[in-house]
Amino acid sequence: MNPAVSESPKESVSNPWDFPVEPDEPETPATVAKREADALRERRRWQEEERRAFEKREAFRLAKEAKAEALRQKAANRELVEEQTVALQLRSAQLDVMLKERSLASVVTTPTPETNAEVMAKLKERIFDFDNPPLPPVPILRLGDQTICTPGNVTNIQAPAKAGKSAIIGAIMAAIFNGRRQGSDTLGFSAENVMEHALVHLDTEQSRFDHDALVRRALGRVRLDRPPGWFDSRSVADLSIHERLAALDLLIEKAVTDHGGIFAVIVDGVADLCHDPNDSTEAFALVGHLHTLAIQHECAIITVLHENPGSESGKTRGHLGSQLERKAETNLRLAKASDGITTVFTERARHAHIPRNAGSCFAWSDAAGMHISCGNAKELKEQASQDKAGEEAARAFWGHDRLSFTELKGAIMESLALGDRSAKLRIQKWNSNGIITKNPDGKYTFA
């Protein structure tokens, strides 16, 4: 046997990227280069696969760790929220018990001779005296020509959500600042704070930014650079109910000391002064306290309360709303139409009656950057009717300068698809409203 043929095949090198070469194939520089190039490509492909596999494993590990951390954080947050909820519920329950105990104590306390004497002394001061009638109250706030606020009374503003309550509050502030200033727009409200007594405003609903914006818009309504010194407005949305109630009394006492008296107090969000508007004991006590403050300081207290969603009658929240409706001098309602126009009216008031079809109206203006007045409901309705009549008359006169009665009647019947009688009534109405003019020759022209 030929030794050259019987030689064992050339063993493969340990490097996995080197390909075996058959012994009977002579290696040339070209084949060597090709073999090395193939090995290099295979090495790079393997390295790329290893890199991708490593990245995949690493991404999976990081995602797993992130998920585990998120679950741990979620569990920790849940525990924290549960602890805070329990603490708040406990605190609320304690306050409820305290308020109810105080209310019940005041009801069931057995009168003593001393308390009876005090009550009789107070009753003597409050007896009806035919010969000395009290002076008529000086209006604090008016809407149009109607008085809606007088000293010693509560006025409640009620509306569905986003109907323009904040705009009304800003307009009332502006009216008290200087509502008669040239070029002002106070949405129909007017006031005269001749004695420059304090105006106290408590915002229990909005953020500090929105509270600030409300006051600045009120100043802009009457073109003031700064609020009067007797104006005190506080954002108390982040305070507890107990702290808000304390703040109301403290600010009133401070205002009396600093400015000699109170002109009006605005509580924007009266429901935030109680724990449960459906608790009759708490609601009656709160309304009674507000009314007492108004009487003691001979001022008006203006509250704001949401209406129940979908309520056509204007029913407000719980026993609080019912008691305010009974005790308020004026229940001022806001109703927003689909065209964005809000009407302000009152059908439940002692000294005013402003039906909805005659109420003041306002709407948002992009140019002014705030809500602006747009007349009253009656004027808007009449203007809309006039505009519609003008459009109808223009259609009837299309292509004609002058029409006889018969021609105009036929044109109306054709353009508006009306009957003979309705067309005649249109001519009479248009002529009386000045939309068309009857000339001496008997023919009509479009005015």
Task: Give the model's pLDDT for residue 5.
Answer: 44
Pair 160, 241 in one domain: yes
Pair 265, 225 in one domain: yes
pLDDT of 191 higher than 80: yes
Pair 185, 305 in one domain: yes
Domain count, the chain: 2
Number of H helices and number of E strands within the chain?
11, 15
158 in Cβ contact with 321 (< 8 Å): yes
Q: Is 364 exposed, middle or buried (0-12, 13-18, 19+ CB in 10 A)?
A: middle
Pair 408, 363 in one domain: no
Pair 321, 440 in one domain: no
User: In 3D, which of 215, 197, 198 has the Cα closest to residue 206?
Assistant: 215
Q: Is 373 exposed, middle or buried (0-12, 13-18, 19+ CB in 10 A)?
A: middle
User: In 3D, which of 254, 271, 349 has the Cα closest to residue 307?
Assistant: 271
Pair 173, 293 in one domain: yes
Structural domain boundaries, residue 401: 397-446
Structure tokens at 330: 């004026």
Pair 188, 235 in one domain: yes
Pair 309, 219 in one domain: yes
Q: How far apart are CA 127 and CA 115, in angstroms?
A: 19
Task: Give the model's pLDDT for residue 315.
Answer: 78
Dihedral of CA 347/363/233/136: which sign? Answer: negative
Flag whether 97 is in a domain: no
Task: Give the model's pLDDT for residue 103.
Answer: 57
Pair 290, 363 in one domain: yes
**Mean pLDDT over the full length of the chain:** 85
Pair 357, 406 in one domain: no
- What is the band of 107 on the pLDDT scale with cuts at 50, 70, 90? very low
Q: How far apart are CA 246 and CA 24, in angstroms?
A: 106
**In this predicted model, which residue has the larger pLDDT, 347 or 263?**
263
Task: Give the model's pLDDT for residue 100.
Answer: 61
Lowest mean pLDDT among 53-67, 79-93, 335-349: 79-93
Pair 305, 431 in one domain: no
SS3 1: coil
Lowest mean pLDDT among 83-87, 157-161, 352-356: 83-87
Q: pLDDT for 8-20, tens place per residue? A: 444 444 455 455 5
The enclosing domain of 196 has a CATH number of 3.40.50.300
Q: How far apart are CA 237 and CA 162, in angstroms?
A: 18
Task: Give the model's pLDDT for residue 11.
Answer: 46
Last residue of a domain, one of 343, 374, 405: 374
Q: pLDDT for 69-97, tens place per residue? A: 888 888 888 888 777 777 777 766 666 66
- What is the band of 1 on the pLDDT scale with cuts at 50, 70, 90? very low
SS3 424: helix
Flag whether 109 is in a domain: no
C-beta atoms surrounding 323 within 10 Å: 20
Q: How far apart are CA 267 and CA 339, in angstroms?
A: 29
What are the C-alpha distances in Å from 329 to residues 212, 265, 351? 29, 15, 8
**In this predicted model, which residue has the larger pLDDT, 231 or 123?**
231
Task: Give the model's pLDDT for residue 268.
Answer: 95
User: In 3D, which of 441, 166, 404 has the Cα closest to residue 304?
Assistant: 166
CA 311 to chain centre: 17
Q: How far apart are CA 174 and CA 436, in angstroms?
A: 43
Distant-in-sequence, close-in-space partners of 317: CB < 8 Å, separation ≥ 6: 271, 277, 278, 305, 306, 307, 308
Q: How far apart are CA 356 and CA 345, in angstroms?
A: 5
Q: How far apart are CA 342 and CA 363, in angstroms?
A: 6
Amino acid 256 reads V
Task: Give the model's pLDDT for residue 4.
Answer: 44
